[in-house]
Amino acid sequence: MMRNQRRNALNIVGAGAALVLSIAACGAWGGYRLNMTRSYPLGLWRIETLHREVAVGDIIFICPPITPAFSVALERGYIPRGLCPGGTGPLIKRVAALARQRVTIDSRVNIDGRRLDQSEVQAADSQGRALTAFAGGVVPPSHVFLHSRYSGSYDSRYFGPISAAGILGFARPVFTFGP
């Protein structure tokens, strides 16, 4: 009897996993993405079409620009490989600042003089490789400053503001695991 219950449980888990993977496989066609990074909870996310301008606090999918910082990030495994220009996958990040807002960085990020929660800047990654913090400044027009509250996230603390032209849409969790 116990063996049948275990087999049934495994079948249910296997079917659920197959369903999630099937939906994720439709990513390029259906607007779904499987997040396997530490920036946001693991699992299935959906790209929701923008119906308004992005605002501070929005969680978005964005293709990073082709820059040396993102080439290094891809090499080091900070960002996933994918179909964005430059061979990266889209990032899931929260918009922390918009054009004309001032960003200063000491041991943490400050936006317009206010400390950004959970924004400690690390001098090195988990493998001891040096990380260079963004020098700070005013976010240029048509750019966004991005942040993730999750530990170990590679975000604008290190690469600075990036062009809003890469925004694919809002990031909405569908089926996620973790905090």
Domain positions in the chain: 1-30, 31-177
SS (H, E, C) the chain: CHHHHHHHHHHHHHHHHHHHHHHHHCHHHHCEEEECCCCCCEEEEEEECCCCCCCCCCEEEECCCCCHHHHHHHHHCCCCECCCHHHECCEEEEEEECCCCEEEECCCEEECCEECCCCCCCCECCCCCECCCCCCEECCCCEEEEECCCCCCCCHHHHCCEEHHHEEEEEEEEEEECC
Q: Is the pLDDT of residue 22 over 60?
A: no
43-56 pLDDT tens trace: 999 999 999 999 99
Q: Which fold has domain 31-177?
A: Umud Fragment, subunit A (2.10.109)
pTM: 0.82
Indicate the pLDDT class of residue 35, thresholds 50, 70 and 90.
confident
